[in-house]
Every structure is written in C-alpha cells, then in structure tokens.
Amino acid sequence: MTPVSYPAYHPRASSRPAPSPTSPVTYVLLITVPAIVAVAALRPR
C-alpha cells in the first residue's frame, strides 16, 4: 500500500457576506405570537 496525500484545504472566500445572526426579538415573536393565538382560540366566548 502507498500512503495517500491530500492537498491542503483552503476554504473558498464567498463573494457575499455571511447572513447576520437572527435577532433575539425574532425568537421572542416566534414563541409569543402562536401562544397568543392559541390562548385567544381557546378562550370561551
């Protein structure tokens, strides 16, 4: 068997910037909006 050598890894530089991290406000809205809708739907009329 012969040893295998791989070329050095060089990550490609992307032309567009990385997406910004999701704001904490988005997470809060994703949790609270469905909860409010569910409570409103379950409220006795």
pLDDT in tens, 1-28: 889 999 999 887 767 776 778 889 999 9
Give the pLDDT score at 14.
66
pLDDT for 13: 72
Q: At 32, is the secondary structure helix, strand, or coil?
A: helix
Burial group, residue 38, by CB count within 10 angstroms (0-12, 13-18, 19+): exposed
Cα–Cα distance measured from residue 26 to residue 45, given in angstroms and rounded to the nearest whole number = 31
Find tokens 């379950």 and name the residue.
Answer: 42
